[in-house]
Amino acid sequence: MSTTIPYPPAAPVCPHTLPDELEQLVFSPTRSWTRRILPWVLMGPLLPLGAVLLDGFFVHLPGDAVGVPAPGERLGVIHVHTAAGHGSGTLPQVISAARDANLSFLAVTDHNITDNPATLDDPSEFAVIAGNELSTSSGHFLALGVPPNWPSRPSYDARTMLAEAHAAGGVTFLAHPYSKDPWSEWGASDFDGMEIWNEDAVWRRNTVLDLLISAILYPVNNQLAMLRLARTPEPNLAKWDELLAQRPVAGICGADAHAAIHMWHGIVWRFPEYLPVFRLARQHVLLGPHPQGGDPRVASATVILDALKRGHSFCALDAIYPASGFVNEISSSVVTAGSGDFAPWTPNAHLRVIVPSGASLPRIKVYRDGHKIVDKEAWSLDEPLPGPGCYRSEVYLRQPGLTGWHRWTLWIFSNPIYVTASSPAVMAASN
């Protein structure tokens, strides 16, 4: 008789879930950690955004403040485009924005156009300098003070057009010489000056992160947004020193204001607007108390342009602090000379640099023939001159706010003072 051994009962199928106690033991810490960290992970990108917006709301810049200008000091912008060319505003609209920024002169430089009849109106209290941004095979240059409908016979050759601009009574400045359209004909000597600062070229030196921060700031605080993109134009300054070793060359800052980004189907985005651009970097022209025997408050475009040509001016990023009243001069027992002037060297000659009161502690640099001889944090300098040479000054302020990173930012650069070797008569007089 056979005995049937019963088949052992099937083992119970393992459940897909662990007992509650074990599940709690194994998984709860992970889930709890995830619940705690996930909100912070999601909030992480919002923290930098919040810092940028806090900057925008709480950093207050001087806006349209002018400060305390010296007698005969006029503020204006150079290199402005209107709707007659590639800009978006009519000349009356551009002048209105300039007045809102407390400017008193404007240099209009539409591309290859000088027949804008509105530029012929030169009101006594607001000077309009007619000009042209010429495109040549060697780059761009500004021809200021040229007559309407100039040039009558355009050429693409840089030297030809520089010579014709002077023949027509114009003053010429190289435009954005180190940009996507750089100047290449450095052998030419028939130009009066160059843009040391060009806002469009400077902005293009920024990183994507810098541009993003500025874009976030712009709707909240457009002046701070523009200031964040300020960078020192080292190549331009170095080239300027190289040229100054050969001859006088006036330095200016160019707004290169278009207020226009051309989109598709003819749509124009008015960005950045004229007003915040006009508030950033301005040319301070030093006419003196009696320019050509007249009143500097009603000086004509011709008088202002002559001062620009001679280097009687300085450029300042007034957005960070108003620079009106800035002093950069050489004094001795023989003469007192300012930017653009020539002065004989004497053993007792001193360089004085004084920044406007109220600014944060600045950093002042002085260059002689392209070599830095002074670099100190101070509100003023009074330094003996080591000898003849070409002396110019740069002043820096720290960026305000959280996202400025306390970075030194170029605030002012002066045109040079040319100190020449003294004649025997001057040396005898100084003794």
* pLDDT, tens digit, 9 for 90 and up, residues 192-235: 999 999 999 999 999 999 999 999 999 999 999 999 999 999 99
The predicted-structure confidence for 3-40, as pLDDT tens digits, reads as follows 555 545 554 544 455 455 444 444 455 566 666 776 66
Domain span(s) for CATH 3.20.20.140 in the chain: 59-315
Pick 326-431's CATH classification: 2.60.40.10, 3.40.50.620, 3.60.70.12, 3.90.1720.10.
2.60.40.10
What are residue 204's phi and psi, to 5 degrees?
A: -70, -10
The predicted-structure confidence for 156-194, as pLDDT tens digits, reads as follows 999 999 999 999 999 999 999 999 889 999 999 999 999
Pick 59-315's CATH classification: 3.20.20.140, 3.30.590.10, 3.30.565.10, 2.60.220.30.
3.20.20.140
Residues (pLDDT < 70) of the chain are 1-35, 38-46, 114-124, 262-269, 293, 422-431
User: Which tokens go with 63?
Assistant: 């806006």
CA separation for the pair 27, 24 (Å, rounded): 6
Whether 209 and 232 have beta carbons less than 8 Å apart is answered as: no
Q: Which residues contact 78 (CB under 8 A, 6 or more apart)?
A: 107, 109, 129, 142, 144, 173, 252, 253, 254, 255, 283, 308
Domain span(s) for CATH 2.60.40.10 in the chain: 326-431
Task: Please report the pLDDT score of residue 55 as a whole number.
Answer: 87
Task: Please report the pLDDT score of residue 429 as a whole number.
Answer: 41
Using the 8-state DSSP alphabet, how is residue 412 labeled? E
pTM across the whole model: 0.86
Whether 154 and 135 have beta carbons less than 8 Å apart is answered as: no
Task: Please report the pLDDT score of residue 431 as a whole number.
Answer: 34
